[in-house]
Every structure is written in structure tokens, then in C-alpha cells.
Amino acid sequence: MAERAQTGPGNPIRVFLLDDHEVVRRGVRDLLDDEPDITVAGEASTVAQALARVPALRPDVAVLDVRLPDGDGVTVCRELRSHLPELACLMLTSFDDEEALLDSIMAGASGYVLKQIRGSELVSAVRTVAGGQSLLDPSATTRLLSRLRDGREDDAEPDALPGLTEREREIL
């Protein structure tokens, strides 16, 4: 990942927020705006708003909710990163979902954290991804890595049709 511009009080980390819940956006905005080296440059509650506003505002970090009523943050991440490769996307979600984590990584997200995170940890996560590093939720990452190492897609699938031979399953 490319080195990001130096940040600090004179040149703060510019953050964009995407979450469909106003209370969450306000809380995250207040939390981040309290930091001298971070400023919230803009926010949106829908995918369409985010895709229109982020390129114009050119933030350093986009904090994206994974699940939205009109789409998902993973798609927003992929789209934004295709036009703004220097943008760091931090996925913030309520759902401890291995698939969303993997999809986020594949879309180019720099970080993936759960909304249960403490405020100080979220601030630290923004600084981490703004600095060009990655940050993934440990519990979701552990489960995902375990599943990938085991090579299992779905434990129930082989026993789904117990009366069939291997060849019959293959044909099906």
C-alpha cells in the first residue's frame, strides 16, 4: 500500500463516515472530532450518497458500515478503491461474519472492526489504517483462518444425500 501523507494537528486525518443509522454516525463523528489529529470531512447514510461524496471530498479514510438498506459497504469499498487507490477503507459492522470479512479484504479494505469496539480502539483503528497498515477483528479473523486452513466449505454438504454414491453426487 502506498505511503500516506504525513498527518498531525496541521494536517489531520480526513475521515468519511457511511452508516445508515444517524445515531451511530453522530457518535462516531463526535468521537473522532474530539481528536486533534482527526477530522470528519463528510458523511452519508446511503451507498449512492457515499459514492457521490467521497470522490469530491477525497478523505484519507472511509469508515463504512457493511450492511446498508440500499447495498453494502463492501461494494462501496471496491468501487471507491478502484477510483481512489490511496483511500483506506475501515469496515465497521455489528455482524461478526466471516464471509463479510473475506469479502471486505478482497474488496481492498484496510481494516475490519466490530461496532462493539471501544471508542479509543476505533480511534486507534482509524490512525492505523490511515498510516497504511491493516487491522482486522481478531475473533472473526481467527475463525476465517481456521476455516480456510481446514479447507471446508460446508460441513453439511457431504452428508446431504447419504443414499447416493460418489458418482451420483458428482453427476448431480
What CA–CA distance (Å, rounded) separates 152 from 129? 31
Q: What is the pLDDT of residue 169?
A: 65
Q: What is the pTM of this model?
A: 0.79
Which neighbouring-strand residues pair with 16?
42, 62
Q: pLDDT tens digits for 150-169?
A: 765 444 454 555 666 777 66
Task: Provide the pLDDT for residue 145.
Answer: 73
Q: What is the pLDDT of residues 24-83, one digit of tens each?
A: 999 999 999 999 999 999 999 999 999 999 999 999 999 999 999 999 999 999 999 999
Assign 3-class secondary structure to the chain: CCCCCCCECCECEEEEEECCCHHHHHHHHHHHHCCCCEEEEEEECCHHHHHHHHHHHCCCEEEEECEECCEEHHHHHHHHHHHCCCCEEEEEECCCCHHHHHHHHHHCCCEEEECCCCHHHHHHHHHHHHCCCCEECHHHHHHHHHHHHHCCCCCCCCCCCCCCCHHHHHHC
For the segment(s) 13-143, the CATH number from 3.40.50.970, 3.40.50.300, 3.40.50.2300, 3.30.360.10 is 3.40.50.2300
CA separation for the pair 160, 97 (Å, rounded) = 24
Q: In this structure, are residues 84 and 61 in contact, taking their beta carbons and an 8 Å threshold?
A: no
Q: Where exactly are the structural domains of the chain?
A: 13-143
Per-residue pLDDT at 150: 76
- Band the pLDDT of 142: cuts 50, 70, 90: confident
